[in-house]
Amino acid sequence: MKMLWRSAATTAFALGVAAIFGPASPATAETPQYGDELRLVVGSKIPSYDAHIESTFGMIHPIRPFYSVLMRVNPDNPSSPTDFVCDVCEGDVPKPTDGGTKYTFKIRKDVKFHDGTPLTAHDVKATFDKIAFPPEGIASNRQAYFKTVESISAPDDYTVVFKLKNPTGTFLPSVAMPYNFLYAKKDLDAHGYTWHQKNINGSGAFRFVEHVPGSHVKGVKYENYHHKGMPYLNGFTAISAPKMSVRLQAIRGGQADIEFRGFPPKARDDLVKALGDAITVQESDWNCVLIVTPNHKVKPMDDVRVRKALSLAIDREGGSKYLSRIAIVKTVGGVVFPGHPLAATEAELSQLAGYGKDVEANRAEAKRLLKEAGHENLKITLHNRGVDQPYKVVGTWLIDQWKKIGVQADQWVQPTTPFYATLRKQKDFTISLDFNCQSIVNPIADISKFLPGAGNNYAEFQDEQLLKWYDELLAEGDEAKQRAIIRKYEKRVLDELASQFITLWWYKINPHRSYVKGWKIAPSHYLNQALDNIWIDQAEKKRQLGG
Amino acid sequence: MYGYIVKRLLMLLPTLIGAAILVFLLLRLVPGDICLIKFGGEGAYADPEQIRQCQVNLGLENPIYVQFWDYMKGFFVLDLGTSMWTGKDVTYEIGVRFELSLQVAIMATLTSIVIAIPLGVISAAKQNTMVDYVVRGFSIAGIAMPSFWLGILMILGLLIGTQEFMGRPWMPPISFKSIFDDPAHNISQLIWPALATGYRYSAVATRMTRSAMLEVLGEDYIRTARAKGLIEKVIVNKHALKNAMLPVVTIIGIEFAFLMGGLVVTEQVFNLNGLGKLFVESVTQSDYTLTQALVMLVVTIFVFMNFVVDVLYAWLDPRIRYS
C-alpha cells in the first residue's frame, strides 16, 4: 500500500512541479492545435532502424514515430506500469483464455503502411515470428522475452492468436515493448529479414523523410494514421546532439523544444532559472537501477560476509536525500521497479540487509561481519563507467559509504567500451557498478538480471535456489503468488547471498519548452515516444521564440 | 619543378601503406567489442548467442591475419568497407560529414590568414612599440586559450547577451544545412566555430609571421634596399614578405590538415556533425572499419598538405627546386 502511495506521490510531485514551473501542466485539459513541427534533441546514435535488434534510445526516439506496435503503454497514463492499451489491436487489451495460455488479438481494419499496403494479422504474425522465432543467422535482441510463446497464428486477416506454453505475467508487458515495430509481411518476404535495418516502411503517425547520419532524422505527418484526428504535428526533426550541455543549451537557446531522456537536477534548475514559465518540468521514477556487482570468483568477494558488509554500509535513505540534488538517482527500492504492485513495500524492504532505518546499527553489523571474515582493513577497487550521470557520482558516494566501515576503496573508471569489455568479457574486476535499464516495467523479466548464469549477470556465481524460484515464477499466473515468490527471490539476492546489491533507482527529469503539450512522462525514456499525442501551442511558441 | 613534384608524389605511397598497417594493428590492441555495446549498451539483456552472431556477421571471429588481408585488399582497391555500427558504406558516412569539416577548415584558415599576416607584419615593422605589445598580447592569449573553451564562452555569451538585450536567449543552430541550400543558416552555425578555431590558429601564425619577418628584415639585402632609397612599404611587401612566408606556409598547411579531423572537442561544443565527432564515435563504439578509414583519411590529408607545402616551398624559394 505504501508503495502505491509512493507512486501516487511521485505523480503528484511531477504534476506539482509542472504546475509551479509551467503555465499549463501536462494534466490540464486543453484543446490540441494542429500544425507546426517538434524539434527534439537525441543524445545517442542510430545503429540501424531495426528495433528488433537494437536496444538504444538513440534509435527509439527518432524512429519509433514511424511505426505502430500491437499494444503500448497508455499514452494518457504512461506513468502507470500496468496500464496498457491497444495500438493496432482493437478494443481492450485481451484477457487470456485456456487457463492463461492463449491471447487472441483482434486487429483494426483501418491500419495502412506508409506505402499504402493494408496492415493485417499476417503482418503481425510475421513480425512476432521474426522476434520470437528468428531464422538461423538472424539476430533478435528480445527473443528471450518470448520463450514462453509456443506458437503464433493468424486464423483470419484480422485475428492473431498467441499460444503460450504456460500462463505467465511477462507476456503482455513483453508484447507492449516499444521495440516491437510492426513490419509488413510483404517486405520481409520480398527483401529479407535484414531489410528493415536500412529501410523504413511503418504504419506510425509520421512518414520517414530523411536521415542524415550524425545530424538528424526528419518525419512528416501520416495523413492515414489509424488513430483518427492524430497526429497533431505536421512533422518532427530529431537532432543528434551527443553532449548533454548542447542539448540543454539548445532548449534554452530556442534551437530545440524537448529532450526525452532526461537531465540532472542542476540542469533543470538552470533552465528554470533562465527561462521561468517558458519551461515545464515533468519528473518520474525511472526504470533504471545502478547495481553493485561483486565478482564472486575473486577474493574476498567469494565471502558472503564481505559482500553483505558492503551492502550494510550503504545509507540508502540518506543517499536518496542528498544525491537526488545532484544526480539522476533518487528512489530507494529492491529488485522490482518501485512503482509496481510487485515491488517491495517499505516495511518489506526494511527487513533486508542495508535497508534498515538504523544506519549506525547496520554499519556496526557490517564491521562485525568484516572482522569475522578477517577483513577488518579491507582494500577494494570499485570498477566504474566513465559517465558522470549517475555512475561517477554514485561511485564516489559508495566509496565514502564504505569508508565509514573502515573499507579503503578507490575507483577504477573506464570509458564505456573498455568498461563493457572488463565487466562482460575479461571479468577481471573485484567489484563493479552495473546497471539495468528497461523499457516496459516487466518485473518478472527484469529481475532475471539477478539470476546466476543469466547472460547479463556478471557476478559469476551459482545458486540452484534462485533458479528454482525463478522457474516457479515464470510458470505462475496468479499475481499474489508471484509477489510471494519475488519476495523470497529478493531476500535471497539482496540479503542471504548479497550476490548483488541495489544502490538507488534512477529518477527521470524532463524539462521542456512549455509550448510542447500532450506529452506525458513515463518511467522509461523508451516509452510513450510515438509522438502522436504531442501538439504545439503556437501562440505561446511565438511569444517565447518570436516570429 | 615537374621532376621535383613527381619525386614528392612517389614518396607518398610508402608513407600511406606504413600508416595503414600501423592503424590496423594499433586498433586491435584497444579493448572493446562493438557487439557488446550494440546489444547491451543500455544495460539491457544481451543474449550471448546474438552477440556471437553479430561477431560472425562482422567478421570479428576471423583470425587477425584474415582480417588484415581483407583490410589491405580493400585499401589497395580503395574499398573502405561498411561501418560496423550502421552497416552503411564508410565513404557515405564520411561524405556526409566532409562538407562541414572542409567548410569549417576553410573558414578558420581564411580567418587566420586575414588576421595573422597583417598583424604579424605590422608587429614586426613596429617592433617594441605599443602596437607590437598589443599584437603580441593578442596572439599569446590566442595560444593560451583552447578553442573549445573559447567556443563555450561564445555560446554562453550569446545566450546571456541575447537574453539581456533582445529579451530571449539565442544560440547558433545545432543542425547543419549546406551553404548552397540555406546560406544564412549555414553561416550563422559555422561562423562561431570558425572564429573560435581561427583565432587560436591565427595566434600561432601571427607569432610565426612576426619572427620570420624580423629575421628577414635584418638581412643584408633589405639593408641594401633601404640604402638604395626604396620606400619602406615596398621593402616590406615586395621584398621581405615573400621570403618570410616559408615557415608561415608550413604552419598554415599543418593547421589546415589538423582542422579537417582534429576538431574533436570544438565540434562537440558546437554540435557540428563533422569528421572529428565521427572519429570519437567510431572509436568509442569500436567500429574498426570506420576508425581505420578516418585515420587513413586524416593521414592522407596530412601527407597531401605536406606535399602542397613542399611544392609551395619550391615556388617561394627556387633554391629548393634546384637543389
* Interval B134-187: pLDDT, tens: 999 999 999 999 999 999 999 999 999 999 998 899 999 999 999 999 999 999
Residue A508's beta-bridge partner residues? Answer: A284
Q: Which strands form A329-331's sheet, in the order they lie side by side? A: A329-331, A501-513, A279-294, A431-437, A379-385, A408-414
Instruction: Kindly report the nearest CA distance between residue B146 and chain A, in angstroms.
Output: 18
* Within a domain: A391: yes
Residue A381's beta-bridge partner residues? Answer: A410
Q: Within this chain, do residues A447 and A495 fall inside the same structural domain, yes or no?
A: yes
* Model confidence at B84: pLDDT above 60: yes
* Within a domain: A389: yes
DSSP-assigned letter for residue B95 = H
Query: In a 3-state reduction of DSSP, which class is residue A381?
Result: strand
Chain A segment 171-230 residues within 8 A of B by beta carbon are: 197-198, 212-216
A249–B159 C-beta distance less than 8 A: yes
Domain holding A405: CATH number? 3.10.105.10
Q: Touching check for A41 and chain B: CB below 8 Å?
A: yes
Set of cell numbers at residue A297: 570468483
Residue A296 backbone phi and psi in degrees, to 5: -65, -15
pLDDT at B44: 55
Q: Within this chain, do residues A364 and A495 fall inside the same structural domain, yes or no?
A: yes
* Within a domain: A312: yes
Chain B segment 144-203 residues within 8 A of A by beta carbon are: 155, 158-159, 162-163, 168-176
Query: In a 3-state reduction of DSSP, which class is residue A321?
Result: helix
**Dihedral over alpha carbons A126, A131, A133, A138 (to 10 degrees):** 100
Q: Residue B43 — pLDDT band, cuts 50, 70, 90?
A: low
Interface test with B, best of A147, A433, A456 (most B CBs within 10 A): A456
What residues of B are in contact with residue A140 (Cβ under 8 Å)? 50
Residue A539: count other Cβ atoms within 10 Å of its Cβ: 10
Residue whose C-alpha is closest to residue A262's, from A526, A441, A530: A526
pLDDT at B239: 87
Interface test with B, best of A255, A428, A542 (most B CBs within 10 A): A255
Residue B9: count other Cβ atoms within 10 Å of its Cβ: 11
- Name the more confident of B32 and A435: A435
What residues of A are in contact with residue B173 (Cβ under 8 Å)? 255
* Model confidence at B50: pLDDT above 60: yes
Set of cell numbers at residue B122: 605590422
- List alpha helices for A54-208, DSSP H: 57-63, 121-132, 171-175, 185-191
* Within a domain: A123: yes
Residue whose C-alpha is closest to residue B280's, from A210, A247, A243, A389: A243
Widest distance between CA atoms in chain B: 85
Set of cell numbers at residue A473: 515464477
Question: Position of cell 519548452?
Answer: A513
Contact A156, A107 (CB under 8 A): no
Scanning every residue of chain B, which has its alpha carbon at the shortest distance from the alpha carbon of A217?
A: B175
Instruction: Kindly report the nearest CA distance between residue A519 and chain B, in angstroms.
Output: 23
User: Average model confidence (pLDDT) for chain B?
Assistant: 87
Of B41, B50, B271, the CB nearest to A246: B271
Of A214, A249, A416, the CB nearest to B284: A416
pLDDT at B323: 62
Residue A300: count other Cβ atoms within 10 Å of its Cβ: 18
Burial environment of residue A404 by CB neighbours within 10 A (0 to 12, 13 to 18, 19 or more): middle
Q: Which strands form A159-164's sheet, in the order they lie side by side? A: A102-106, A159-164, A149-156
Q: Within this chain, do residues A400 and A313 fall inside the same structural domain, yes or no?
A: yes
* Within a domain: A332: no
pLDDT at B141: 93
Domain holding A61: CATH number? 3.40.190.10
Most confident of A207-221, A444-458, B17-31, B226-240: A207-221
Q: Within this chain, do residues A224 and A296 fall inside the same structural domain, yes or no?
A: no
Q: Within this chain, do residues A458 and A536 fall inside the same structural domain, yes or no?
A: no
Residue B13 backbone phi and psi in degrees, to 5: -60, -50
- Give the count of domains, chain A: 2
B85–A45 C-beta distance less than 8 A: yes
Cα gap A507→A264, rounded to integer Å:
9
Q: Within this chain, do residues A62 and A201 fall inside the same structural domain, yes or no?
A: yes
pLDDT at B261: 73
User: Which domain, by its residues, includes A464?
Assistant: 288-318+357-503
The one-letter code for the residue type at A201 is N
* Within a domain: A135: yes
Chain A segment 262-301 residues within 8 A of B by beta carbon are: 274-275, 288
- Name the more confident of A328 and B264: A328
CB pairs under 8 A between A and B: 168
Q: Give residue-wise pLDDT tens across range B85-131.
A: 888 899 999 998 999 999 999 999 999 999 999 999 999 999 999 99
Contact A265, A498 (CB under 8 A): no
Query: In a 3-state reduction of DSSP, which class is residue A300?
Result: coil
pLDDT at A425: 80
Residue B122 backbone phi and psi in degrees, to 5: -60, -45
Residue A318: count other Cβ atoms within 10 Å of its Cβ: 12
pLDDT at A91: 94
A197–B33 C-beta distance less than 8 A: no
The one-letter code for the residue type at B245 is M
Residue B89 backbone phi and psi in degrees, to 5: -55, 135
* Model confidence at B79: pLDDT above 80: yes
Set of cell numbers at residue A28: 490540464
List, in sequence order, every beta strand (DSSP E) within A295-407.
329-331, 379-385
10-residue averages of pLDDT along chain A (547 residues): 42 42 49 97 90 90 98 94 95 94 97 98 98 88 88 98 92 95 98 94 98 95 97 98 94 96 94 95 95 96 97 96 95 94 95 95 97 95 93 96 96 87 88 92 91 87 95 88 96 97 96 97 96 97 89
B45–A456 C-beta distance less than 8 A: yes
Cα gap B200→B195, rounded to integer Å:
9
Distances (CA, A) of A383 to A45, A299, A301, B307: 25, 15, 14, 47
What residues of A are in contact with residue B39 (Cβ under 8 Å)? 53, 55, 141
Full DSSP string of B180-198: TT-HHHHHHHHHHHHHHHH
* Within a domain: A281: no
Chain A segment 365-384 residues within 8 A of B by beta carbon are: none
Residue A211 backbone phi and psi in degrees, to 5: -135, 115
Query: In a 3-state reduction of DSSP, which class is residue B304?
Result: helix
pLDDT at A19: 40
A421–B36 C-beta distance less than 8 A: yes
Distances (CA, A) of B159 to A249, B163, B272, B291: 8, 6, 18, 35
pLDDT at A8: 42
Q: For residue A216, how far is the Cα from the chain centroid?
A: 23
Question: Position of cell 598538405?
Answer: B305
Give the CATH fold of the B97-273 domain. MetI-like fold (1.10.3720)
What residues of B are in contact with residue A275 (Cβ under 8 Å)? 169
Instruction: Kindly report the nearest CA distance between residue A446 and chain B, in angstroms.
Output: 9
pLDDT at A165: 92
Scanning every residue of chain A, which has its alpha carbon at the shortest distance from the alpha carbon of B275?
A: A214
* Within a domain: A274: no
* Model confidence at B320: pLDDT above 80: no
Instruction: Kindly report the nearest CA distance between residue A497 and chain B, in angstroms.
Output: 22
pLDDT at A136: 84
Query: In a 3-state reduction of DSSP, which class is residue A511?
Result: strand
